[in-house]
Amino acid sequence: MCTIGPASAGRTRELVGAGLDVARVNFSHGTPATRAEAAAAVRAAAAEAGRPVAVLADLAGPKIRLGDLTGGATLLEPGRPFTLRISSARAPGDATGAHVSYRRLAADVRRGDRILLADGAVELRVVDVDRDVTTEIVRGGLIRNRAGVAIPADRLSSPALTAKDRADVPRALAMGADFAAQSFVRRPGDVAELRQRLGPGGPPIVAKIETRPAVDAFDAILDVADAVMIARGDLGVELPYEEVPLVQKQLVRRALDRGVPSVVATQMLESMISSPRPTRAEASDVANAVFDGADAIMLSGETAIGAFPVPAAEAAVRIVRLCEERGEGLLPRGAPPPVETDVGALAYAAVALAAADPAVEGIACYTRTGRTARLLAALRPGVPVFAFSPQAAVVRQLQIVHGVVARTCVPPEDVASRLGLMAWLLGEARLATPGAAIVLVASTAAPGSGPNLLEVHRVPEGRA
């Protein structure tokens, strides 16, 4: 997953060529026009490349930000006062203070509270609360325009969906977003509120886990979200930094056990904002996300504002590909069935059958909603899941799911034509080698009832 921003807005084709599967459009920045243009560019690049690429609309949420700064940035020095201005006009800030976007900040903080700026790069301590908030700089550093302002999430009295979010939901729907990411989720009810706003048939929701309350309520959030994102930037501000790796591994594993796709995000290849190569530690970080069982990794500033957006995407792809090709023994395999139903049991049987026969090169399924493909992928088979769907939106949404190769197809009339269609498509799309075995997963029942049939298919010799 790559964030589309000023550095990559004109290079979408190159990102798709590098391996982009999901394009993130950040609603915290830009204008409705520039965000719509970014989504349209992704659609055009995907069509030109002849492969599906999803668009994720990332709603801003109750993120608190500083205003603009004189010269675009300023250096804060320890021991100096710094005022977070709420009541004053939005004049550019400087080393003595800056406007803050959250009007209730003075009501939500107390003397002695810690406030962090720019993902924790700068630490402030509240010394006085009046109409504005006066702080002392505890740890200095460089801050830029619209730097994030972090206070403990359980103190925030703002709603989960801000007025900006409510205005942006129709814009996300109008651009045809395949996913809606919800920032600063704190409880399951937050996700339910967004789903109501999106309406029937709205895009799946990716709940961003970046607050302590969200970590505490994670299992309940898994009940209502379609996917989760471990957003380590703000999460690393809410939690002690040494806890973040453990929390990441625990949450990814719990999501995998429940069959809910997970994304690991923030500072994956941070140094590539200004460097053409990642550090060894960053390469290990991306690899560990793969070995944890994450479905996707996401690049943020690396592709949005960095000097090397395409090399950053290429580097991420190289690391992930190598880990998956040569990481046997480190990758999660045969995870517990995510659903204790007949459908879950059949998915487990398909994965077990594929594991038992070295000639099997994939598991193929026909799916209207993507559910069957997600069930199979959650079991982490050692072969790809080839998913065929008549719904183009479903095919795009499956791009976030690990190990799934999704293609559109015409809707077959019955189970026999369904099996025949999958067999024909496997050959036409050149997804398997001649003579290879493929496990076909299908249904003899009415549409929507789930699969109940397995069949082993051999790709005819002479077809590639």
Active-site amino acid positions: 24, 65, 208, 266
Residues 245, 246, 252, CA angle at the centre, nearest 5°? 90
Phi, psi of 59 (to 5 degrees): -70, 145
Q: How far apart are CA 398 and CA 395, in angstroms?
A: 5
